[in-house]
Amino acid sequence: MKTVNNYRITLIVLVFSIRVLTPSHGQDVPSTFKHVATSSNISNNYTIIDHLKTNSKPNSLLFVAHDYGNGGPYITAPLGVWYSNNKWIIFTQDRSAMPVGAKFNVLTQTLADSNAFVHASTSGSISGHITTINNSATNNKPNAKLIVTQNWGTSGPYNNNPIGVYYANGKWKIFNQNRVAMPANAKFNVIVDHPRAFQHTVSNNSTSHISTLDNPSTNNSPNAFVFTTQLWTSIYNNHNQGLWYSANKWKIYNEDRMTLPSSAKFNVIAFSITDNTPETDTSTAITIPKTVFTGLVNSYLGSMEIKLNNYGRRHRDSAGDISWFAENESFVQLGGNRFNFNIPEYTRGVRDKKYYMNDMSLNNAITNFNGDELHMILTFEEDGPELKGMCSNCARFREDNAAPDYQLEDNRWDVHLNVVPFNGSLTLDVLDVSYLGDVDGAVFGELFEGIVQQTVIPIMEREFRDAFNDQRSEIARQIRTLADNIGFDLAGVTRITFEGGTIVLHNN
């Protein structure tokens, strides 16, 4: 037993979740539909839209948003639209390959709509990374809500930069989030103050790359078409966003999975009804029971090891203070590879009480589906105090007694995973890490916030993500091999959906 001054605390769950959504059809909305990039409509960095509502309509204004859907993929590049050979096209601004299975919400407007227009940057409108809009629909309207999509037009240029909007001196501006110079003649489709528009603010303590929308037009609406543009209020977010539906709500997320800045704002338009003239889905599919898939995941991840520890021998640190900090002793071991990392010591008071994660090791892992989310419960051992307190400014005989230890009961965590097609198989991506449960005691509440919420959770999220990203190919290979052994052929899978107790694997 790890003993010493135990204060008992009730705490939490490490749950891995695979999230998905499946579209359905309802009332017709002529201006919205879903486009899916397939092997037949992709060429290099673009996907060609073949839809009655956009074909042979060069004067339409298209607004697009990436919908992560049932299994991705992520698209980290800025997007744009362009018209050619009687069809509209969605493309990646950095000219990276358009991934098969990518899904897009598409909204069409016409130039006859006074609240929709094309803005082109000119020498007179550009100032550094900013272009100023001069339009009666937006001038002197500080509370207007703008949604913007880049438009290549007939001759470009490319603008391979995440964009946002802001208001100053009576006019709205479009800017590059990374402050790269705005190119001349860059074009932007703009829609202003649509009746369905609202504003969303990221929580002020964001530690995730995901932020949940909470609005009547999006809640409990898996079939909604959602579009966003970041609104600058002194906070830059140099990342491209996508959208994703899970747990009855839509989410905005950074495609590269970098943390969304606290209090960042977004303009949002949401249509809660769907188009009844979708593009034809010519894919073939096989099904695999959810129970079989959890067995595959358990077989691979059952050997995973996790240890959280930064408590070691007494020594003096570089500043001359007494410390018990042990460097590089925490790790995640996955697929035979160990990923070591540091958890910094936490000091409460001035060079006084120091707290450490004390040899907290993974006990077991169990996975199962709850609806369309895969939960992996990781339970950690509870043998003695997991948070070790030491006093660095006390007499030596009191160092181990003056700072209380804390034991975590029901010691489990919550890590969200997503299942994605990869290399003719399936693999797992980490979305975020969080703690669940209650914490008792005012003093520990402060420690919980400082140690767990602000320190351990961001580190765990980063390290889990790095470990799983590093092992993507190996996870896919192992799952494919295990599936082959029980008669399921995953070769060629490009996207997934969920239907009741089965996973549907599509090949285009």
pLDDT tens digits, one per residue of 241-292: 999 998 889 999 999 999 999 999 999 999 865 444 444 444 457 788 888 8
pLDDT at 365: 83
Q: Do 212 and 295 share a domain, yes or no?
A: no
Q: Mark whether 314 and 459 lie in a shared domain.
A: yes
| 155 and 249 inside one domain | yes
Geometric angle at alpha carbon 105, from 100 and 110, rounded to 5°: 125
* Of 360, 358, 380, nearest in space to 312 by CA: 358
Whole-Å CA distances, 177 to 128, 180, 254: 12, 8, 13
Amino acid identity, position 363: N
Same domain, residue pair 244 and 392: no
**336 closest CA partner among 363, 309, 304:** 304
How does residue 98 score in pLDDT terms, banded at 50, 70 and 90? very high
Same domain, 141 and 37: yes
| Residue 26 counted as domain residue | no
From 166-175, 315-324, 404-413, the region with the lowest mean pLDDT = 404-413
Say how many domains are in the chain: 2
Residue 426 located in a structural domain: yes
pLDDT (0 to 100) of residue 166: 97
Q: How far apart are CA 109 and CA 115, in angstroms?
A: 9
- Asked whether residue 23 is assigned to any structural domain, the reply reads no
The whole model's pTM is what? 0.55
- Better pLDDT: 288 or 429: 288
Could you tell me which of 232, 244, 227 has the C-alpha nearest to residue 178?
Answer: 232
Beta strands in 68-162 (DSSP E): 79-84, 87-92, 103-110, 116-120, 126-127, 130-132, 146-151
How many CB atoms sit inside 10 A of residue 225's CB?
A: 27
Kindly compute the dihedral angle of the four CA atoms of residues 276, 278, 284, 288, in this order, to the nearest 10 degrees: -60
To the nearest 10 degrees (0 to 180), the angle between helices 472-485 and 290-301 is 130
Domain span at residue 355 reads: 6-18+287-499
Residue 280 forms part of a structural domain: no
Range of lowest pLDDT (214-218, 231-235, 241-245, 345-349): 345-349
Predicted local distance difference test score (pLDDT) of residue 275? 41
In a domain, 277, yes or no: no
Residue of 166, 272, 163, 161 whose CA lies nearest to 213: 272
* In a shared domain, residues 128 and 253: yes
Beta strands in 259-382 (DSSP E): 265-271, 285-289, 305-308, 311-316, 322-325, 330-334, 337-341, 346-348, 353-357, 360-370, 373-380
At residue 41, what is the residue type? N
Q: Which of 229, 245, 271 represents a domain boundary (last residue)? A: 271
Q: Of 224, 246, 271, which residue sits at a domain end?
A: 271
Q: Mean pLDDT in the chain?
A: 83
Residues 483-507, mean pLDDT to the nearest whole number:
79
Decide if 185 is inside a domain.
yes
- What mean pLDDT do residues 399-421 have? 79
| Same domain assignment for residues 212 and 360 | no
Helix ranges (H only) for 23-152 are: none
User: Does one domain contain both 235 and 319?
Assistant: no
Tell me, yes or no, whether 279 lies in a domain.
no
- Domain boundary among the residues 236, 271, 306 is at 271
* % the chain with pLDDT above 90: 43
What pLDDT sits at residue 67? 95
Q: Say whether both 415 and 342 belong to one domain.
A: yes
Residues 96 and 243 in one domain: yes
Per-residue pLDDT, averaged over 190-199, amounts to 90
Rounded (5°) CA angle 26-32-38: 95
CB-CB neighbours of 84 under 10 Å: 12
pLDDT value at residue 419: 80
- Reply yes or no on whether the pLDDT at 95 is more than 90: yes
- Whether residues 60 and 164 fall in one domain: yes
Q: Is residue 490 part of a domain?
A: yes
Which amino acid belongs to residue 9?
Answer: I
Same domain, 301 and 231: no
Q: Which helix (H) or strand (E) holds 470?
A: helix 457-470
Q: What is residue 35's predicted lDDT score, i.e. its pLDDT?
A: 92
